[in-house]
C-alpha cells in the first residue's frame, strides 16, 4: 500500500486541527451559554427544571433591572472599580520601574533578585491567608478597600516585574547609552526612551492584571466582609444567601460583572495583541 501524497496528509491534518478547534470552542461556550440563558429565565421556568432548553418566558429586562433594584450590585461594581484601578496602576508602575532596573542595570545581587521574582510566582498564595489576614487586622486595614489594594499590588508585583523585565531586556543598550552620552538623565531616559518602546507590553500587562484583580474571589472573602467594601465577585456569592433559589438574578449579576474586563479587552485589543507578540518578533 502506497503512502498518501503529502498534500493529502496536510489536508487531513488541517481537518483535525479544525475539529479540535471547534470542540474547544463548544466546550468553552457551554457554561457561558448556560449562564446567559439562565439570566433571562423566569423563576417558574427554573423550578420546572428547564435548565438547558429555550426559556418559556423571557425576562431579560426584569431580571437585569431587579439585580440593581433589590441588591447592592451597583455598590459591588463600584467597589471593584475602586479596588482594581488603583491596584493595576500601582502594580504596573512599580513593576515597570523594577523591571527596568533588573534589565538595564548591573549591580550586586541583580541575579538573586531576579531569581526571587521568579520563585515568588510559584508560591501558592492561599497558604498565606492567615498571616495576611492578621497583618491587615493589625494595621487597621481589615474590611477596607486599602486591604485589597495593597495586597494585589504586592502580590501582582512579582509577575508584573518578570513580565516587564523580559520585554525591556530586548531594548538595545546602545539606544540608552546614546541618550546618556547626550546628557539625558536616567529618569528622562526611562520616561521618554524606554516607556514608548514598551507601550504595547504595558497595555497587555494592564489588561491581564485588571482581569486577575477584578475576578479575584478568594482574597475578597478573606480580607473584607461588609457590603460597603465587598467587590463584585464576593458580592455575587452574597446574593446566593439573599436570593436563596433565584439563580436568574445571580446569573444576570455574573453577566454584568463580566462586562468590564471584556470591554477593556476589546478597547485595548490592538495593543494587547501587539504586547503579547512583541517578544516573538525580535531578531
Residue 1 lies in a domain: no
pLDDT at 281 over 50: no
State residue 13's pLDDT score: 59
Give the C-alpha separation, 145 to 241, whole Å: 23
Choose the final residue of a domain: 16, 46, 66: 66
- Give the model confidence (pLDDT) of 250-273 as tens digits: 889 999 999 999 898 888 777 766
- The answer to whether residue 172 is domain-embedded is yes
- Are 230 and 196 contacting, i.e. CB atoms less than 8 angstroms apart? no
Residues 61 and 145 both lie in one domain: no
Choose one of 66, 97, 112: the last residue of a domain.
Answer: 66
Instruction: Report in angstroms the alpha-carbon separations of 189 from 177, 183, 234.
Output: 10, 10, 42
56 and 195 in a single domain? The answer is no
Q: What is the mean pLDDT of the chain?
A: 85
- Tell me: do 217 and 276 sit in the same domain: yes
Per-residue b/e over 44-63, b at no fewer than 16 CB within 10 Å? ebbeeebeeeebeeebeebb
The CATH number of the domain where 114 resides is what? Answer: 1.10.3720.10
Identify the residue with better confidence: 281 or 232.
232
Contact 56, 45 (CB under 8 A): yes
On whether residue 214 sits in a domain, the answer given is yes
Statement to judge: residues 248 and 214 lie in one domain:
yes
Specify the pLDDT at position 274.
64
Q: Is residue 235 part of a domain?
A: yes
Q: Are 166 and 114 in contact (CB under 8 A)?
A: no
Mean pLDDT of all residues in 31-60: 83
What is the predicted pLDDT for the residue at 12? 55
Phi-psi label, residue 183: left if phi above 0, alpha if psi -120 to 50, beta otherwise: left
CA dihedral 84, 29, 270, 201 (to 10 degrees): 50
C-alpha distances in Å from residue 197, one per residue of 49, 89, 162, 183, 273: 56, 19, 17, 20, 15
Are 51 and 80 members of one domain?
Answer: no
Residue 154 has pLDDT above 80, yes or no: yes
Note whether 81 and 175 are same-domain residues: yes
Mapping DSSP onto H, E and C, the string for 25-64 reads HHHHHHHHHHHHHHCCCCHHHHHCCCCCCCCCCCCHHHHH
Residue 171 lies in a domain: yes
Specify whether 44 is located in the same domain as 165: no
According to the 3-state scheme, what is the secondary structure of the chain? CCCCCHHHHHHHHHHHHHHHHHHHHHHHHHHHHHHHHHCCCCHHHHHCCCCCCCCCCCCHHHHHHHHHHHCCHHHHHHHHHHHHHHHHHHHHHHHHHHHHHHHHCCCCCHHHHHHHHHHHCCCCHHHHHHHHHHHHHHCCCCCCHHHHHHHHHHHHHHHHHHHHHHHHCCCCHHHHHHHHHCCCCHHHHHHHHHHHHCHHHHHHHHHHHHHHHHCCCHHHHHHCCCCCCCCHHHHHHHHHHHCCCCHHHHHHHHHHHHHHHHHHHHHCHHHHHHHHHCHHHCC
The grid coordinates of residue 146 equal 486599602
pLDDT of residue 111: 83
Residue 107: is its pLDDT beyond 60? yes
Q: Nine-digit cell at 66?
A: 431587579
Q: Tell whether 123 is covered by a domain.
A: yes
Same domain, 54 and 100: no
How many domains, the chain? 2
- Select from 20, 43, 66 the last residue of a domain: 66
Q: Would you tell me how many other CB atoms lie within 10 Å of the CB of residue 126?
A: 9
Query: What is the span of the domain harbouring residue 19?
Result: 6-66
105 and 200 share a domain?
yes
Residues in the chain: 283
Residue 81 confidence (pLDDT) above 80: yes
Same domain, 77 and 56: no
Give the model confidence (pLDDT) of 181-193 as tens digits: 988 898 999 999 9
Q: Is residue 250 part of a domain?
A: yes
Task: For residue 278, name the pLDDT band (cuts at 50, 70, 90).
Answer: low
Indicate if the pLDDT at residue 4 is higher than 70. no
181 in any annotated domain = yes
Give the pLDDT confidence of 223-260 residue by residue, as tens digits: 998 889 999 999 888 777 544 557 888 889 999 999 99
What is residue 243's predicted lDDT score, i.e. its pLDDT?
Answer: 47
Claim to verify: residue 61 and residue 179 sit in the same structural domain: no
Count CB neighbours of 164 within 10 A: 25
- Per-residue pLDDT, averaged over 20-31, amounts to 85
Q: In this structure, are 135 and 46 located in the same domain?
A: no
pLDDT tens for 188-207 read: 999 999 998 888 889 889 99
Amino acid at each position: 500500500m502506497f503512502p498518501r501524497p503529502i498534500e493529502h496528509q496536510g489536508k487531513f491534518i488541517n481537518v483535525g486541527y479544525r475539529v479540535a478547534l471547534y470542540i474547544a470552542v463548544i466546550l468553552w461556550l457551554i457554561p457561558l451559554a448556560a449562564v446567559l440563558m439562565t439570566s433571562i429565565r423566569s423563576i417558574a421556568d427554573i423550578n420546572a427544571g428547564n435548565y438547558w432548553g429555550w426559556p418559556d418566558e423571557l425576562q431579560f429586562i426584569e431580571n437585569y433591572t431587579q439585580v440593581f433594584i433589590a441588591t447592592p450590585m451597583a455598590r459591588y461594581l463600584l467597589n471593584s472599580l475602586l479596588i482594581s484601578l488603583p491596584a493595576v496602576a500601582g502594580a504596573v508602575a512599580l513593576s515597570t520601574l523594577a523591571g527596568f532596573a533588573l534589565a538595564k542595570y548591573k549591580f550586586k545581587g541583580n541575579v538573586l533578585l531576579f531569581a526571587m521574582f521568579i520563585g515568588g510566582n510559584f508560591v501558592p498564595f492561599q497558604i498565606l491567608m492567615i498571616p495576611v489576614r492578621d497583618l491587615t487586622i493589625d494595621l487597621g486595614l481589615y474590611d477596607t478597600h486599602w486591604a485589597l489594594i495593597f495586597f494585589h499590588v504586592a502580590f501582582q508585583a512579582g509577575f508584573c516585574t518578570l513580565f516587564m523585565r523580559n520585554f525591556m531586556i530586548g531594548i538595545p543598550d546602545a539606544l540608552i547609552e546614546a541618550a546618556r552620552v547626550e546628557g539625558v538623565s536616567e529618569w528622562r531616559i526611562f520616561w521618554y526612551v524606554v516607556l514608548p518602546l514598551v507601550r504595547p507590553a504595558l497595555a497587555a500587562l494592564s489588561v491581564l492584571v485588571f482581569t486577575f484583580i477584578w475576578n479575584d474571589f478568594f482574597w475578597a472573602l478573606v480580607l473584607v466582609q461588609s457590603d460597603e467594601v465587598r467587590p463584585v465577585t464576593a458580592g455575587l456569592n452574597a446574593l446566593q444567601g439573599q436570593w436563596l433559589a433565584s439563580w436568574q438574578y445571580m446569573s444576570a449579576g455574573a453577566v454584568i460583572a463580566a462586562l468590564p474586563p471584556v470591554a477593556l479587552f476589546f478597547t485595548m485589543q490592538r495593543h494587547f495583541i501587539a504586547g503579547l507578540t512583541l517578544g516573538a518578533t525580535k531578531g
